[in-house]
Structure 1
Amino acid sequence: MNPETWAAHVTVAAIIERDGRFLLVEEHTDDGLRLNQPAGHLEAGETLVEAAARETLEESAHRFTPEALVGVYMAHFARAESASGATYLRFTFCGSSGEPEAGRALDPDIVRTLWMSAEELRACPERHRTPLVMRCIDDYLAGRRFPLDFVHTHSVGPTRSSKSGTQ
């Protein structure tokens, strides 16, 4: 593996709680149907907060307003097809949402949304997409919160140094 080309996958996730239950999605994965928070990859040109709101809307039809960062998590997964596997850097936000938008289609891999208590989720770890699903809920329940201004976005336009790959 060339260390200059390796990069972690940057992902975001949303924790939305109502009356002691958490919004989850059930989705198709290579390992079958799994449970996850609404989550997905950061796309070019967006902030982490924007990505969390967009992914939540796409996967659950709920508009999400991030209110705090719960934590930043790194997970590495071995893969048979890659000697290096895959590393994910996940930024998990908590916040509020309204009712789902009627008639809005969910991402193709999403089977349904559901609300589960922490106890219900804890009782089925084999159904979790990753161990981060429960870890993020546990951190949220422990009161871990960082203000949104903890996460900075700095964009730089093209310059000679950035075009050549040096900063």
Structure 2
Amino acid sequence: MVKEKKQGKLVLNQPAGHVENNESLIQAITREVLEETGWLVKVEHLLGLYSFTPSVNDDTYHRACFVCSPIKKVNQTLDDDIEEAAWLNETEILNHSLRSPLVKKCLEDYLTGTIYPLSLICDSHL
């Protein structure tokens, strides 16, 4: 988990970000996790696809969540917007302010064993 500021308040989130040009989804996940946590990981499974609209006139946020295994801690400065990366248990996560309800939903799905194969993803570049 990462601790980051949202509207001046410290919240928990899973590492997240965007896919850069000429980057596969798996490459983006690996890069974002490394940048935000300092950990090199192996992407193992798709956990799910999620969407969240905070209120009627707000943008809808889409999230693809993945299950990863840690490979090794790399000495690296974390992204500027990340206060801390931390390994937390379920209780610690749920007792903290979360960035969005999707953080809790992803955790619940993970704890119930919901996973999908990475073969569902088709990455093509022109």
Question: Which of 147, 150, 155 is matched with 2:120 structurally?
Answer: 150
Distance 1:50 1:86 in 2: 26
Identity of aligned residues (%): 36
Q: SS of the counterpart of 1:99?
A: strand
In structure 1, the residue matched to 2:74 is 101
How many residue pairs were aligned? 126
Relative contact order (C-alpha < 8 Å, sep 6+): which is higher? 2
Q: 2:64 aligns with which of 76, 91, 96?
A: 91
Determine the structure 2 residue equivalent to 1:15.
none
Closer, same or farther: CA 151–39 of 1 in aligned 2, 3 Å:
same
Question: In the alignment, does 2:90 pair up with 1:118?
Answer: yes
TM-score, reference length from structure 1: 0.70
Could you tell me which runs of 5 or more consecutive residues in structure 2 were left unpaired when the two chains were aligned.
none
- Residues 73-128 of structure 1, C-alpha deviations (whole Å, 9 max, x = no match): 011234xxxx95222211111021133212x110001111111111221223xx10
Maintained 8 Å contact 1:25/1:36: yes
TM-score normalised by length of structure 2: 0.90
Match of 2:9 in 1: 32
Give, in whole Å, the separation in 2 of the partners of 1:44 and 1:76.
26
Structure 1 segments, 4+ long, off by >3 Å, are: none
Higher fraction of strand: 1
State which structure, 1 or 2, has the greater radius of gyration over its C-alpha atoms.
1
Q: CA RMSD in A?
A: 1.6
**1:2-151 alignment runs, 5 A limit:** 24-78=1-55, 84-102=57-75, 104-124=76-96, 127-151=97-121
